Chain A
Amino acid sequence: MTGWTLPTIDDEAAAWAAKLLSGDISEVERQKLNVWLAADARHRQAYAEYADIIAHTDQAWTMIAEKTLERDLGQSASRLIWFPAR
């Protein structure tokens, strides 16, 4: 097929999200991101959804890590708590 595909909003938002996650973003790039976000509400929407999905996945992973730990210890979370001396 002759032709090329322009990046979609999703492509751009994902690229920005991955760039931000690298923790390695220059001031110039940050400015570019701000310009891109300001340009279109759909950009902001897509970008916010990436932030949301990352946050929720992280949260779920933390929960799973805790459940796995409890299982490894063979007891429930309530029993993991120490109690003060009388």
Chain B
Amino acid sequence: MSLQQNIIAQELSNNEEFIVNWLKKFLGDNETAMDVKQSAFLHVWEFSKHSKINNPKALMFKIARNLAYNEIRRRKRFDASFVTTSDYSEYEIEHATYSTTPSPEQITSLRDDIQRVFEEIDTLPERPKQTLIMHRIHGKSYKEIAQILSVSESSVEKYMIEALKRLRKCLTPDQDQEATIVYFQPAPGRQRKVS
């Protein structure tokens, strides 16, 4: 083991807990987080054999993040077959919501309508908001979300519809606002005379 590899091994083991916690927050479960950490570590190790690594911790994060994104994409593709009994606590749900709300300076760097989208997401009722975040960011299936929120899958679909409709309004404020209302004719005997 070279001196560089020695230093890298030392630094990575110092930051292991931090990385695993971060991955866990991103991926939702400990087991996957550990797997991703392990393969990220191996990637860094491979790099270190032939390249000089400036900042092992940052490289480790960069690789871990890419692997985590791949994992989430994979989950979305195999949504129906990927079912885990999730033990998301209330705290984690709140924290997930909190940690993904962009700061004001982040918002100003976005396209106008996307800025409005994030402001809108902030004002969504709790369950549609959690549904949207767990599905789009954490890659959870409707089934998993239903378990976490203790509701039926069809309720989750309704929350998603509610969230999506609010998002679309940010894109096109005046589209489809008027509903077609079909009235019953009141029975003739019950009609009141207007004097």
Contact = CB atoms under 8 A, between A and B. Distances in A.
Interface residues of B, number: 56
B58 interface: yes
A54 interface: yes
- Chain A facing B: main interface SS: helix
Given A14-B164, A64-B106, A2 B51 contact: no
A24 to B, nearest CB: 5
A29 to B, nearest CB: 13
B6 interface: no
- Chain B facing A: main interface SS: helix
B120 to A, nearest CB: 10
B182 A23 contact: no
Contacts of A54: 136, 164, 167
Contacts of B142: 22, 24
20 contacts: A2-B186, A8-B178, A10-B176, A14-B164, A14-B168, A18-B157, A23-B77, A24-B80, A52-B171, A53-B170, A54-B136, A56-B114, A60-B111, A60-B118, A63-B110, A65-B100, A80-B58, A82-B54, A82-B55, A83-B54
Interface of A: 1-6, 8-11, 14-15, 17-19, 21-24, 46, 49-50, 52-54, 56-58, 60-69, 72-73, 75, 79-86
- Nearest 9 A-B pairs (CB), nearest first? A23-B79, A10-B176, A3-B183, A18-B160, A85-B52, A2-B184, A18-B161, A6-B180, A80-B58
